[in-house]
């Protein structure tokens, strides 16, 4: 019985020691995660701001403009009388 108790105590002590050994790695990982989350939010905000400034709040219109080379656009009415952005050439 004494051996089992000593074995359990040694095992718990090794868990506690292991936790304190891994604690700096957990802190570094948490800091890296926060940096990446902050960078993602800033990038999202920048894309949203560019889209709103160019009147392309729809992601499909924005990516289509990037695929066509971006550049200045002007609203041209189509046959139905709706305005749609078209690239100036």
56 DSSP 8-state letter: -
In this prediction, residue 58 carries a pLDDT of 72
pTM for this predicted structure: 0.52
13 pLDDT band, cuts 50/70/90, is: very high
The predicted-structure confidence for 34-46, as pLDDT tens digits, reads as follows 999 999 999 999 9
**CA–CA separation, 29 and 51 (whole Å):** 33
Q: Does residue 3 register a pLDDT over 70?
A: yes
In this prediction, residue 35 carries a pLDDT of 98
Residue of 69, 85, 89 lying closest to 77 (CA atoms): 85
In this prediction, residue 69 carries a pLDDT of 67
Residue 63 parent element (H or E): helix 59-67
């Amino acid at each position: 019985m004494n051996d089992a108790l000593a074995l359990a105590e040694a095992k718990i002590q090794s868990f506690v020691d292991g936790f304190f050994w891994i604690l700096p790695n957990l802190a570094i990982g948490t800091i890296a995660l926060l940096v990446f989350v902050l960078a993602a939010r800033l990038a999202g905000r920048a894309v949203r701001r560019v889209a709103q400034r160019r009147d392309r709040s729809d992601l499909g219109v924005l990516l289509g403009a990037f695929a066509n080379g971006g550049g200045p656009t002007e609203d041209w009415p189509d046959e139905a009388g709706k305005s749609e952005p078209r690239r100036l050439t």
